[in-house]
Amino acid sequence: MKKIAMFTMGTRGDIQPYIFLSRELIRNGYDVTLGSHPCWKNLVEEA
């Protein structure tokens, strides 16, 4: 399996594109790790 790690900081509007990209990568066979500020933990995990 292909693996990719991404890290992003900022507001919700900065994080959401990375969540969308992560979902698409997962759908296409990637193992994705998305890191961000702890305040976005629930948003990232729910995606």
**1-47 tens-digit pLDDT:** 899 999 999 999 999 999 999 999 999 999 999 999 999 999 998 88
Residue 47 CB-density burial (10 A; 0-12 exposed, 13-18 middle, 19+ buried):
middle
Structure token pair of residue 27: 């759908």
pTM metric for this prediction = 0.84
Instruction: Specify the pLDDT at position 11.
Output: 95
Q: How far apart are CA 32 and CA 40, in angstroms?
A: 16
Provide, for the chain, the percentages of residues in helix, strand and coil under a 3-state DSSP scheme, each rounded to the nearest 5.
55, 25, 20
Judge contact between 30 and 3, C-beta under 8 A. Answer: yes
Q: How far apart are CA 36 and CA 11, in angstroms?
A: 10
Instruction: Specify the pLDDT at position 35.
Output: 95
